[in-house]
Amino acid sequence: MRLFLAVNLPVALRARIHADIEPMRRACPGVAWVHPEHLHFTLKFLGEVSNGASTALQKTVGVAVQVRKRFTIILRGMGAFPNFRRPRVVWIGVKDDRSLTTLARSVEEACVSLGFQPEVRPFGAHLTVGRVKRELNVLALQCLERAGFGMHNEYVLDVQSVDLMQSELRVGGPSYTMLASLPFQDIT
């Protein structure tokens, strides 16, 4: 199984973000825009994992996150990795990412304790909304940058669990299935 740990967005928030970036999708068809049901914050990508390791992950990560309290983050601002001149990933940022970064660190430590490789890069809180698969022409790049800098919407996300997700790669794009939701202590 190909697994990752994530913070998922509620359906209504996914729909709102998807609707808000509609002008961008129309203006920049060269970007592979993320389907609304796939919008999430990846905390840790695990890759291929056995069924037994999946069970251990649920237990260990569950214990690591159950001591946390729910928190709220504000999604705001749009950018691109590495930048809008050579975009590979188009994203929405997080206004103050300390709580999400701390959560990612807890998840990382739990995974490393189970023998998973530690992440080399520091966690950078971002919501991927598009991927650039091929080089864009100058006009498309300018259009994407203008649209990105023109995006001033803010979104509030109440974070109250970490989800263990399975990703199946398919011809039409990935399919995600939630295997387990690992709630924080103040959620029943």
Is 40 one of the catalytic residues? yes
126 in active site: yes
Cβ neighbourhood burial of 133 (10 Å; 0-12, 13-18, 19+)? exposed
Q: Tell which residue, 188, 164, 187, has the closest CA to residue 177.
A: 164
Q: For residues 121 and 18, what is the distance between their CA atoms, to the nearest angstrom?
A: 28
Task: Give the SS3 label for residue 19.
Answer: helix
The alpha carbon dihedral of 59, 2, 18, 28 has a sign of positive
Catalytic pick from 35, 38, 40, 152?
40
Of 18, 38, 126, 152, which one is the catalytic site residue? 126
What number of other Cβ atoms are within 10 A of residue 96's Cβ?
12
Which positions are catalytic?
40, 126
